[in-house]
Structure 1
Amino acid sequence: MNNDLSATEAARLLNVSLPTLYSYVSRGLLASVSNGDSRRKRYPQEDVLRLAARKNDARHGGQTAVAAMHWGLPVLETRISHIFDGRLLYRGCDATALAESATLETAAGLLWDDNAIDYFQQDAPVLPQELAGAPDAPPLARAMLAMAMLASMPALADILKSGPALMRILAAALLQTAPSALPLHLQLAQVWHADAQQTELLRAALVLLADHELNASTFAVRCVASTGASLAAALMAGLAALSGDKHGGGSAAARRMLMQALAAPDASAAIGAYYKTTTPEFAGFGHPLYPDGDPRAAYLLGSLTTMAHEKPELAAILAVCAAAGELLDTRPNADLALAAMELAFGWPEGSGWSVFMLARSAGWIAHAAEQAASAALIRPRARYIGRHQRD
């Protein structure tokens, strides 16, 4: 399908006159392509939309960075993923469509280089004994420790550059197992004793959470990667960002709400009391980038609904989810879906967080590679608002 635009269409999108459009071409800001035998030029739609976004940023002047920190304007360009019209797209592919059958490994290959190479054909890495980790530590701490130790071992240079090896090591740290070449969703399923339906849901969840544009942890990864640090060090930065309740703690907060509501004589009262002290956005409900609802949550909760008639515990959990949505007058996000899965299937507490970490590592690796390839150091400026001179 040819998405090239006419000069009139391109000028309308850019909100400029035709002479201004032609000046953009002459200045190298926009490409034009020949229209076959016709002398009229055409303009690639994606290039026009990208230039329109840049013009929009420029109008906001020095407020761009401030707005970006509050779910506003973009601060980096990427070819990896974006959120558009309520959909999450990986290199132009709808994540919810991919979730129907893809694995996390397939999604990772798409994010890394549009599946030009099957990276996961290689064997699982064999690691030194000292990388076994601290058995009594929680999964996030074990994962951070593994990445920190890898980053300090230059002798493991091949592993430090290998996305598949690092994802398998991360899975091993989260699950306290040896690194394996088994598909990652099956590794989770084996340790958590998931049945066939649950295993399929795990597979889909990993795909849906593999990337999410320029969120806090991904930006941290890109900042570290821009310094020339190793891939393991960049992943450690992403894990550190996830340790914050406002980013990685959403499924745990949603789980607490579900447990309190299920145990209370009046579920609605318990839900209302919980969200008086907890921001819904950080505990399962609402998302600034999805005003009409998080498609990842819709997919996962929809799958859970089809299973509920055979599982009374799951039906009760979904009833609480519905009651909370009505009370808050907002729709669920992916954190609520992870919490519902964890609680309904009796997986270890914090397993939703582990799913999130393992899934998102695929996107982190893609962004780290894209940032490193740009050879640019991320070094924004601050707007000083303090005292300029002391008396």
Structure 2
Amino acid sequence: MNEDLSASEAARILGVSLSTLYSYVSRGLLPSMDSGTSRRKRYPQEAVLRLAARKDDAKRGGQAAVAAMHWGLPVLETHISQIANGRLLYRGVDAAALAQHATLEAAAVLLWNEGQADYFSAGTPALADVADGWLARVLAMAPAAPPLARAMAVMPLLEHQLATPTHTPQAMLAAGPMLMRVLAAVLLRSPPGVLPLHVQVARAWGADAAQAELIRAALVLLADHELNASTFAVRCVASTGASLPAALAAGLGALSGAGHGGGSAAARRMLLGALDSPRPGDAIAAFYQAIAPELAGLDHPLYPHGDPRAAYLLARLAPMAQHAPRLAAILAVCATASELLDARPNADLALAAMELAFGWPEGAGSSLFALARAAGWIAHAAEQAGSGAMIRPRARYVGRAYREEA
């Protein structure tokens, strides 16, 4: 079956004149081809249908919506966080300023309800029930699974361990501390506890006091980041009336992707390759040439002048390098990569640098990311549930036109 269209057929589907059709071709909006039997051009049916769908969608603002889905205009309203003028703000508070003194728990209650109620100080009676053998039995089923995989497996099961359902905003926030503490236990393979989360992480990794401070700051800086891919997934699931553990499982799934939470792992590979090479610059260039056009660990579309999270963490690392040769070498590689590619470090590179410099377990960067971001996910899930609106965008169909069944 010939799926090419004549000029008149294509113009009729597009609802334009022949002269406009020809202008589409000259402007590169529509391909054309020789018919083979005459001098008249033919037009691929699929390309015509796609252009017609775009024209129709543009009348309803669809093109703007498509652009918004790719680092474009905002598509949801939120009170939680904002990226503006090169700064990350949690309910109007600069995250970098908060990282100087706050814990992840403090950042969480700020994100959840502007600090009006400290859900973490209320205690978590359900924590003892979860720790009473259940979690250990679940984790024993996958002893070799990496941290994020363990978390993705455990989180949906937690719904049945909660005393009350978590489908309302208040119930979500009330269950938040317990879920974050269990998440930490799963990521760290340690019993759930009520010590500050950065202290639990530091103890599990054998980190000293200075490293514990870096862990604390990193958790605060990563607690939320507006409408990123994992947060959008969380909001979509929460908008259906699903439980908070189900929404968090969706966030973990999105975070596990190489293009999201896997950024620190890619940056780690770059650092290791450069450290092991007698010519670090060549190793860096070869690494980024192989993964082009993505620059793992460098630049961020929302921070044209540099990621403030990375700037904060790398600035804290610099004085420590005076007495730590490996850290000094890692920071030198970071500087070389930045200069070579004319790009600034992002949070992924800072996480990878800390992981390698201090001998933390492989994947520590993604574990910090997941634990920190859970605070933001809970805030977004509660906000979305409170809105009462289900997220259900429309798709633009660009396939074949209606046809009778063959």
TM-score range, shorter chain: 0.7 to 0.9
Matching residue of 1:346? 359
Q: Work out which of the two has the higher radius of gyration on C-alpha atoms and give 1 or 2.
A: 2
Q: Tell me, yes or no, if the aligned pair for 1:150 and 1:156 is still in contact at 8 Å.
A: no
Structural mapping, 1:188-267, within 5 Å:
188-267=201-280
Rounded to whole Å, the distance in 2 between the matches of 1:122 and 1:129 is: 23
Matching residue of 2:48? none
Matching residue of 2:134? 130
Matching residue of 2:15? none
Encode CA deviations 1:226-261: one digit per residue, 9 max, x unaligned. Answer: 011110000000000011100010000000000000
Deviation for aligned residue 1:196: 1.1
Encode CA deviations 1:211-231: one digit per residue, 9 max, x unaligned. Answer: 000000000000000011110
Matching residue of 2:117? 117
Matching residue of 2:175? 162
In the alignment, is residue 325 of structure 1 matched against residue 333 of structure 2?
A: no
Amino acid at match of 1:129: G
Amino acid at match of 1:350: G
Deviation for aligned residue 1:304: 0.6
Encode CA deviations 1:186-213: one digit per residue, 9 max, x unaligned. Answer: 0000011111111100000000000000
Rounded to whole Å, the distance in 1 between the matches of 2:335 and 2:293 is: 14
Mark the CA change 1:60 to 1:184 in structure 2 (over 3 Å): closer, same or farther. Answer: farther
- Structure 1 stretches lacking a partner, 5+ long: 1-57
- Structure 2 stretches lacking a partner, 5+ long: 1-57
Deviation for aligned residue 1:383: 1.3
Deviation for aligned residue 1:131: 2.6
Encode CA deviations 1:145-202: one digit per residue, 9 max, x unaligned. Answer: 1102113556564797500000000000001111111000000000111111111000
In the alignment, is residue 143 of structure 1 matched against residue 151 of structure 2?
A: yes
Which residue of the other structure, out of 377, 380, 383, is the alignment partner of 2:390?
377
In the alignment, is residue 276 of structure 1 matched against residue 289 of structure 2?
A: yes
Q: Tell me, yes or no, if the aligned pair for 2:288 and 2:294 is still in contact at 8 Å.
A: no
Rounded to whole Å, the distance in 1 between the matches of 2:292 and 2:157 is: 35
Amino acid at match of 2:329: A
Q: Aligned with 2:144: secondary structure?
A: coil
Runs of 4+ residues deviating >2 angstroms: 128-132, 151-161, 279-282
Rounded to whole Å, the distance in 2 between the matches of 1:308 and 1:351 is: 20
Mark the CA change 1:280 to 1:117 in structure 2 (over 3 Å): closer, same or farther. Answer: farther
Q: Aligned with 1:323: secondary structure?
A: helix
Q: Tell me, yes or no, if the aligned pair for 2:152 and 2:252 is still in contact at 8 Å.
A: yes
Amino acid at match of 2:143: P
Rounded to whole Å, the distance in 2 between the matches of 1:198 and 1:309 is: 15
Mark the CA change 1:145 to 1:282 in structure 2 (over 3 Å): closer, same or farther. Answer: farther
Rounded to whole Å, the distance in 1 between the matches of 2:293 and 2:321 is: 24
Structural mapping, 1:274-313, within 5 Å:
274-279=287-292, 281=294, 283-313=296-326
Q: What is the count of residue pairs matched by the alignment?
A: 334
Q: Aligned with 1:166: secondary structure?
A: helix
Answer with 125-134 or 222-231: which moved more: 125-134
Q: Tell me, yes or no, if the aligned pair for 2:281 and 2:337 is still in contact at 8 Å.
A: yes
In the alignment, is residue 179 of structure 1 matched against residue 192 of structure 2?
A: yes
Q: Tell me, yes or no, if the aligned pair for 1:103 and 1:207 is still in contact at 8 Å.
A: yes
Answer with 270-279 or 143-152: which moved more: 143-152
Deviation for aligned residue 1:65: 2.3
Amino acid at match of 2:362: E
Answer with 278-287 or 102-111: which moved more: 278-287
Deviation for aligned residue 1:282: 5.4
Rounded to whole Å, the distance in 2 between the matches of 1:224 and 1:151 is: 14
Answer with 350-359 or 143-152: which moved more: 143-152
Deviation for aligned residue 1:64: 2.5
In the alignment, is residue 73 of structure 1 matched against residue 73 of structure 2?
A: yes
TM-score by length of 1: 0.82
Rounded to whole Å, the distance in 2 between the matches of 1:85 and 1:200 is: 27
Rounded to whole Å, the distance in 1 between the matches of 2:317 and 2:154 is: 33
Matching residue of 2:3? none
Q: Aligned with 1:88: secondary structure?
A: strand
Mark the CA change 1:243 to 1:207 in structure 2 (over 3 Å): closer, same or farther. Answer: same
Q: Aligned with 2:89: secondary structure?
A: strand
Amino acid at match of 1:131: L
Rounded to whole Å, the distance in 1 between the matches of 2:393 and 2:199 is: 41
Q: Aligned with 1:82: secondary structure?
A: strand
Deviation for aligned residue 1:283: 1.4
In the alignment, is residue 356 of structure 1 matched against residue 369 of structure 2?
A: yes
Deviation for aligned residue 1:70: 1.3
Q: Aligned with 1:162: secondary structure?
A: helix
Larger relative contact order (CA 8 Å, sep ≥ 6)? 2
